[in-house]
């Protein structure tokens, strides 16, 4: 019997979503699943999700903050949260913020990065370009495109310290200039002088300067500076508790800077519905008010970084030296024809999972990213297996 109903047409998608395509490294994911199903030991240095326990004071604050009656949180968050973050910014960066006009919470930096362009870009604007570095975090591009902006990627070079240089950015097309230091995926750090240079360029050309500072409290040497140490004018900094405090699953970040920018985002965000839950705010207050747990996490990441640095130097693997973030950017050996996907597959046969550089965009080819997330003992075991590949 024939079905009388008309044929269903293909589901129409937003062209930006459709254009993202499928997972680009399907072979790696398929092989990973095979090894996992076989029960093989896997050392996952691929995803930046640290394994160290979240500090007890933070967990206690979360549990104690669960209310008997649940009510909607506000986009502006609790005054105590904005004050706690402002206190940290004063201690860490010697920057004074008005918690009422210059600070706004977010449910993790990823959503804040994605949504921020919505307040400042529109397809009808003459100048709607967003400059960002590649290899880099893909959300800068995706947030731009969904907001109707024009993506202006700039390929970063090792010879230039993986810094996004103002001379490589077209001021006639650029509305937003994204920087991210310490840098994901390379671990490169920026100097105060570099931040001054970028701030001056953006001020001269009336460009909004957005700074992703999610890793600026993970370091072993000199503390990385914040763009807010240089300027607040037409500037927004994004800081996160994910790495600093081991709160990746809590989804808690802060935006700070120019009061006009904060005002625009405050107007935008209730429409999106991304206010932080009240109990997560309580945990965040505890985290921003305490520096001891962050120092202990820095010590642990420093030990892991030292382990791999010594190993790479001993076996002659080229990498980008850094004492910031918890990433190491490793050059693929010539014996693998600089093929980062092939090298990642070979390491996976030893149970070592790394991220191929090409997954972070143009300029990442020929590198792999090592995220220092497994525990110290797991790092030692992984190094012994990696040594077999090298030798």
pLDDT digits (tens, 9 = 90+) for 295-319: 999 999 999 999 999 999 999 999 9
The values of phi and psi at residue 70, to 5°, are: -90, 130
CA–CA separation, 177 and 202 (whole Å): 8
Model pLDDT for residues 185-223, shown as the tens digit of each residue? 999 999 999 999 999 999 999 999 999 999 999 999 899
For the chain, domains (ranges, CATH) are 15-53+293-390 (3.90.1150.10), 65-289 (3.40.640.10)
Q: What is the mean pLDDT of the chain?
A: 94
* Per-residue buried b or exposed e for 17-33, using 16+ beta carbons within 10 Å of the residue's own CB: eeeeeeeebeebeeebe
Tokens 């893909």 identify what position?
138
Q: Helix count (H) and strand count (E) of the chain?
A: 12, 12
- Token digits for 80? 């105590």
* 131: nearest Cα among 112, 156, 106, 110: 156
Model pLDDT for residues 67-96, shown as the tens digit of each residue? 999 999 999 999 999 999 999 999 999 999
Confidence of residue 6 (pLDDT cuts 50, 70, 90): low
Model pLDDT for residues 96-105, shown as the tens digit of each residue? 999 999 999 9
Contact in structure between 349 and 32 (CB atoms under 8 Å): no
Q: What's the whole-model pTM score?
A: 0.94
Contact in structure between 166 and 197 (CB atoms under 8 Å): yes
């Amino acid at each position: 019997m024939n079905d009388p109903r008309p044929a269903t047409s293909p589901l129409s998608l937003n062209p930006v979503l459709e254009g993202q395509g499928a997972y680009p490294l399907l072979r790696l994911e398929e092989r990973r699943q095979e090894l996992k199903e076989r029960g093989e030991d896997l050392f996952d240095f691929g995803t930046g999700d640290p394994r160290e326990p979240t500090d007890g004071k933070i967990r206690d604050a979360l549990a104690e903050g669960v209310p008997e009656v649940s009510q909607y949180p506000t986009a502006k968050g609790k005054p105590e949260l904005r004050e706690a973050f402002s206190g940290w910014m004063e201690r860490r960066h010697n920057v004074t913020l008005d918690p009422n006009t210059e600070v706004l919470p977010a449910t993790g930096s990823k959503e804040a990065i994605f949504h921020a362009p919505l307040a400042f870009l529109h397809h009808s604007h003459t100048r709607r370009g967003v400059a960002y570095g590649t290899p880099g975090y893909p959300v800068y591009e995706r947030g731009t495109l969904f907001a109707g902006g024009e993506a202006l990627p700039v390929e970063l070079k090792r010879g230039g310290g993986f810094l996004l240089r103002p001379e490589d950015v077209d001021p006639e097309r650029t509305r937003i200039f994204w920087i991210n230091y310490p840098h994901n995926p390379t671990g490169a750090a920026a100097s105060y002088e570099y931040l001054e240079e970028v701030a001056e360029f953006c001020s001269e050309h009336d460009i909004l300067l957005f700074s992703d500072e999610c890793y600026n409290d993970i370091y072993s040497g000199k503390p990385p500076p914040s763009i807010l140490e240089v300027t607040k004018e037409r500037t927004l900094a994004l800081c996160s508790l994910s790495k600093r405090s081991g709160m990746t699953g809590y989804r808690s970040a802060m935006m700070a800077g120019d009061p006009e920018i904060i005002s625009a985002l405050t107007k935008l965000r209730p429409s999106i519905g991304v206010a932080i839950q009240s109990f997560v705010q309580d945990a965040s207050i505890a985290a921003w008010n305490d520096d001891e747990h962050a120092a202990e996490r820095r010590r642990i990441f420093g030990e892991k970084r030292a382990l791999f640095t010594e190993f790479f130097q001993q076996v002659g693997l080229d990498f980008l030296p850094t004492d910031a973030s918890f990433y190491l950017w490793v050059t693929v050996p010539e014996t693998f024809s600089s093929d980062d996907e092939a090298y990642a597959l070979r390491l996976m046969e030893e149970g070592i999972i790394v991220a191929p550089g090409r997954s972070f965009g143009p300029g990442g080819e020929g590198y792999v990213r090592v995220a220092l997330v497994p525990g110290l003992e797991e790092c030692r075991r992984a190094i012994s297996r990696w040594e077999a590949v090298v030798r």
